[in-house]
Every structure is written in structure tokens, then in C-alpha cells.
Amino acid sequence: MHIMNTHHSSHKHYLPMIFLIVILLTTFSNYASPAPLYPVVTPVIIDSICAKASNRTLCRAVLGPAIGRGILFNPTLVLCGPPIRIARSSAMQARGLAWSLEKNTNTTERARRKYGMCFLSYKGVLDKLGKAELYMHLKVQTMTKNVGLVWGHVESCDKELVGPPRDGSGVLEANGRIKDLCSIVLAVCDFLINGRK
């Protein structure tokens, strides 16, 4: 009888630990990014993601270095981090270019207004990219929303510059690159949420 009571009390001892594990797993599933069922990044994963990106060559170049890295616990950090950081760098360069063109006395008044609007648009671009980077550690859906808003801000600048006359300063090209990078992030998010199809 004494042995049975000891065995029963040992079960009671483990119950709080079991409850704690259940709570932690529930919290992780609610707030963490949904992890794919793959321990590391593989060429197959990269191909699956890049098939849905607008610029597959750029996608493979940006995500290729991640091959072999573990993604069980931080998939968004590994796969979304590089394109978001490159997009932020490109946005800062494009914003600086738009600002310098707006202030250039050789720029026509009409063009200066256009570059001024693009400069303001890039403030929104950088803000949303910053939020997307912040949410890499939280929820994929929230990060996707912010990247979608980045796309909208870039489109606003595009509409100012498509002409006529069509802009030849390089801002449009920078816009295209940023949209391609956002497309990579959205493709990664789709993969993390829905898996390889």
C-alpha cells in the first residue's frame, strides 16, 4: 500500500509540469510564426517559394544563402529577414535619390512635385518595412499585411513617375526592385502558412 501511494504522489508531482508544457505550446501556436515541417532550408523549399515570386532569379539569389540553415524555430527570421533588409536598404537609397532630384534646381517644377510625392511615399515604405521586420518574431499574417502596405506606397510613387514623360532617373527601377523583394517575402509567408503545394 505504501508503494502504491508513493507511485500516485509521483504522478501528482509531474502534473504541474505537464500543465506548464501545454500552456507554453498553446501560447507558441497562437503567437509564433507557423513553422514548416522541415528542419532546414533545402533547394526544393527555395524553388517552391521562388515559383510564386515575381522575380525568380532575384528570389534565388536572395534566399540561396539560407540553404542548410535550420528553420524549425525561426523560419521567418531566416527566410524573410534577408529580402526585408535588402528592401529597406533599397528604399533608403531611392528615398535619397528622390530627395536630391526634388531639390535639384535643374529639375523641372512638375518633376520636382513628382519626386516630392515619391519622397513622402518612401516614408511610408520605410515605416511599414520596419514594422514587417518587427513582426518577423510574432505573426506571419501581420507581417504580410505590412508588406502589402509597402507595395501600395511604392505603387503611389510609380503612378507619379510613369509619365509622360517617363521617369529615367532610376527611381522607377528601384521601385520595381522593392516590389520584387516584397513579392519574395509574400511568397515565403504563403509557404509558411500553406506549405508546399
How far is it between the farthest Cα atoms of the chain?
97
CB 187 within 8 A of CB 46: no
Position 83 scores a pLDDT of 96
pLDDT, position 33:
44
| Residue range 74-112, pLDDT digits in tens | 888 899 999 999 999 999 999 999 999 888 878 888 888
Residues 154 and 159: their CA atoms lie apart, in Å, by: 9
Using one digit for the tens of pLDDT, what is the confidence trace for 120-156?
999 999 999 998 888 777 678 888 888 989 989 999 9
On whether the pTM is more than 0.75, the answer is yes
Note the pLDDT of residue 197.
Answer: 52
> What are the pLDDT digits (tens) for 43-80?
999 999 999 999 999 999 999 999 999 988 888 889 99
pLDDT of residue 176: 94
Give pLDDT, residue 3: 47
Q: Does the structure show a pLDDT above 50 at 31?
A: no
Specify the higher pLDDT residue, 54 or 164.
54
Separation between Cα atoms, residue 192 and residue 94, nearest integer Å: 30
- Rounded Cα distance, 70 and 40, in Å: 4
